Structure 1
């Protein structure tokens, strides 16, 4: 079984990387955290044109998917560039609506998600009571037990460790569906969300490592680059090994989810916990090896450092993911 992207998928990743490199993504992240969504929405428009959101939408609703493997390829790139917004929640909402079995709701919602015209957020209360970026989402879907509703309002924005991850507690709203179909669809959507989050965390970790390597080759102490110190080399090597070990797990989980394997949920959980821990290790390494400058908001590095911990815990904490793996 092949656990790494093929030539077409690698070219897709390169095209997304070029698209995001040409824009001022750090500025968009900072604006998003301040409540100005214009630059971030411009990034989303480019991603939609490249087909990122269509990967989660079936062909009968103007999408290309569902294609979990291609989603992981895309979300790793999005993590590398720290793209703001409810990216994971939008594709998870698409997965939920696709699996729900309500043809009218799917026809009304999914084409707009595929085209990027509609941003969605998803709150599954078993994972926590908060929705990401509910204040900018065109629809906030809430799953509480076996009930799906569209929230009446996002609620006030709450402080977050990552200013660009704007959390709110949705309330009220009209019921869309009830019953076992909602529970089953929400379980699948949560797996899609966990997988996309794992890929995003992997991308965040890659950028943190790359920026740290660049820093230690420039920063000198006692007349030599600090990257030549054995302790620094060991720290970077451990971080690299953690990220390298993560990548095949993420792609293996995507293949299992695409094939509908019975153990796909456990594979997703294993990938999620491994990616989250690897990104968190990369963040700690970056912070410590950058020294005092690593603590400053002015340094763009902070945009990635602040994402690592929230991504580690989103859509399945390490403890919850480990428990699911052991239960399988």
Structure 2
């Protein structure tokens, strides 16, 4: 059993980095926040040509039929580059929630943008105004398609995230969901938490990389601030936390894949929650440290640092809060100790 990315995973990550590094994602994210989804749609189109939206879609629906390790790689790179839009909902959650015979799976594989509300953890539709497909998951396991919102979005600390109340007054006919329960937890919630954990880990690494580069370039009292021991310790703490979170994410991918191994206790719900807690804590530390090292310039809206800081803060409560995921881990530990 491998708890680290394979060579194929690494090659896939490199391909994503090459694509997104040349796509001017920062400009697309700023345009997305301002209400212009055009540049963001072009990035989604490029991702579709690389097969990213099709990763979790079965092959019989035109998808790749990838495993959770592939999703972990993809979402780390999406988080690292700050790709806007409902990437978690569209790429990771909807392929799990929609039934095996859903006609919408092929559209998602081809790059259609989808979003979903799944109460109580995720009661709002993310970026419903630009999504092609919008769903509300019912407590009875049904999936109901809803129209484009007619109301203004709710505010978010991350301006690239626009949240909408589902328009339940007019809906189309519902369809059964292909949801599977893990220990009483809906699989859509597990998939969302797993993807958010990977996205946070990627965003945390981007914050660390940018802060290291800034510390090398910024001089004070005649030398780069990165040469001062206090700055080195701050950055080392972030690097350590990110590195410790990575094996938990890959372990969660193994648990989600259903792989069995002698002597290894795998629990998808527990392992995803553990990875989510570690990744979110590490990313939050990266954000706080980045702001501390950058100083006043890091507080300005014009500096790109804010795009990742606000995203990390917003994702802290996406697909479950830290307190909820800690409770899941604690409950699993208590049951194991009995």
- Alignment TM class, shorter chain as reference: over 0.9
| More helix as a share of residues | 1
CA distance in 1 between partners of 2:228 and 2:290 (Å)? 15
**TM-fit CA distance, 1:174:** 3.1
CA distance in 2 between partners of 1:306 and 1:183 (Å)? 33
CA distance in 2 between partners of 1:41 and 1:59 (Å)? 24
**TM-fit CA distance, 1:323:** 0.5
Count of aligned residue pairs for this structure pair: 320
1:96 paired residue number: 97
Show structure 1 runs of 5+ residues with no match: none
1:21 correspondence with 2:16: no
**TM-fit CA distance, 1:144:** 3.1
Show structure 2 runs of 5+ residues with no match: 261-265, 333-338
Question: 96, 113, 133: which is aligned to 2:127?
Answer: 133
1:265 paired residue number: 269
The 8 Å contact of residues 202 and 279 in structure 1, kept in 2 or not, is answered as yes
Within 5 A, what are the aligned runs for 1:111-126? Answer: 111-116=106-111, 118-126=112-120
CA distance in 2 between partners of 1:274 and 1:178 (Å)? 34
The 8 Å contact of residues 279 and 312 in structure 1, kept in 2 or not, is answered as no
SS in 1 for 2:35: coil
**TM-fit CA distance, 1:263:** 1.0
**TM-fit CA distance, 1:182:** 5.0
1:168 correspondence with 2:164: yes
CA distance in 2 between partners of 1:94 and 1:134 (Å)? 17
The 8 Å contact of residues 273 and 312 in structure 1, kept in 2 or not, is answered as no
Question: 149, 152, 156: which is aligned to 2:152?
Answer: 156
2:197 paired residue number: 198
**Residue 191 to residue 260, structure 1, CA distance change in 2 (3 Å):** farther
**TM-fit CA distance, 1:260:** 6.7
Once superposed, what is the RMSD of the aligned Cα atoms?
1.7
SS in 2 for 1:52: coil
Q: What is the TM-score of this pair, normalised by structure 1?
A: 0.93
The 8 Å contact of residues 275 and 312 in structure 1, kept in 2 or not, is answered as no
**Residue 182 to residue 65, structure 1, CA distance change in 2 (3 Å):** closer
Which segments of structure 1 move beyond 6 Å, counting only runs of 4 or more?
A: none
1:41 paired residue number: 41
1:3 paired residue number: 3
Within 5 A, what are the aligned runs for 1:1-328? Answer: 1-91=1-91, 92-97=93-98, 100-101=99-100, 103=101, 106=102, 108-116=103-111, 118-146=112-140, 147-154=142-149, 155-172=151-168, 173-177=171-175, 184=181, 187-259=186-258, 263-328=267-332
